[in-house]
Chain A
Amino acid sequence: MLVLSRKLNEAIRIGGDISIRVVRIDRDCVRLGVSAPKDIGVHREEIFLEIVESNIAAAESANPEQLSMRLRQLKAEATEQF
């Protein structure tokens, strides 16, 4: 991993069109300004972690018998409503 030191208002550039600038420094929090083309997703890492956690929960819940039973129940409930 490349590790760089930056001061307030200094930036790094990634490729020709992405820049990440330090816009504020508090005690344990750094505020960054990201400039990137609109077709590139810029996300907090937590978004990826949320999706990973959700995938794990889905994989663990994918017990065919339990799920089939629950889906049949839901469908029966839905049919009653119509």
Chain B
Amino acid sequence: MVVLVIESQQKVRGGLPENPDIQVSLAFPEGLLGFETLRAAGLEPIEDATPFSWLKFQGEPAQSFLVVAPACVTDSYRFELGSTDCRSLNLNRSSDAGVLNIVTLRRDGSLTVNLKGPIVYNKLTGEARQVVPINAAELPVNFPVAN
């Protein structure tokens, strides 16, 4: 039985630092939820908007998502990764896991982050997956990004 606990507890103030643990190419064998045909993605930091990055999926049509590392937007984020997700990502230790969260620009101009369905990737292999953590019910899907 494997449950990996993934935590990010230090919020990086000011929104200025680089995204930690950036891996340029990620492979999503199952796409994203609702976008199951997406496969290969590149992660591109946005120069004038750190710590945000573009997750750019190749293909026709190409699709991009704005993403951010959770440590840049919240100081206490903890989720439990189930055994199916650990197996499919070949993850045995939480230190090998990288985490990105998808950002939405709302109509009122505010930004929210999806903490309920994080993207987890294996830093050693680049395999990636949008997961539904075991404790998903307690995680917000529209977490506001403070200015």
Cβ B102 vs Cβ A52 within 8 A: no
Number of chain A residues whose Cβ lies closer than 8 Å to a Cβ of chain B: 35
Chain A interface main SS type:
helix
Chain B positions within 8 Å of A, measured between CB atoms, are 1-3, 14-15, 32-35, 46, 48-49, 52, 54, 63-66, 82-84, 102-106, 109, 111, 114, 116-117, 130, 132-134, 136-137, 141-142, 145, 147
A36→B3 CA distance, assembly (Å): 14
> In this assembly, does A9 line the interface, its C-beta being within 8 Å of a C-beta of chain B?
no
Contact for A51 among B54, B109, B130, CB less than 8 A: B130
Residue in A41, A50, A70 whose Cβ sees the most chain B Cβ within 10 Å? A41
Task: Tell me which residues across on chain A come within 8 A of B3, comparing CB atoms.
Answer: 38-39
Assess whether A62 is in contact with B65, with CB atoms less than 8 Å apart.
Answer: yes
Q: Give complex CA distance A82, B142 in Å.
A: 26
Contact A64:B49 (CB < 8 A) given known A50-B116, A74-B15: no
Task: Report the separation of the CA atoms of residues A50 and B35 in the bound assembly, to the nearest whole angstrom.
Answer: 14
Q: How far is the CB of A46 from chain B (nearest CB, A)?
A: 10
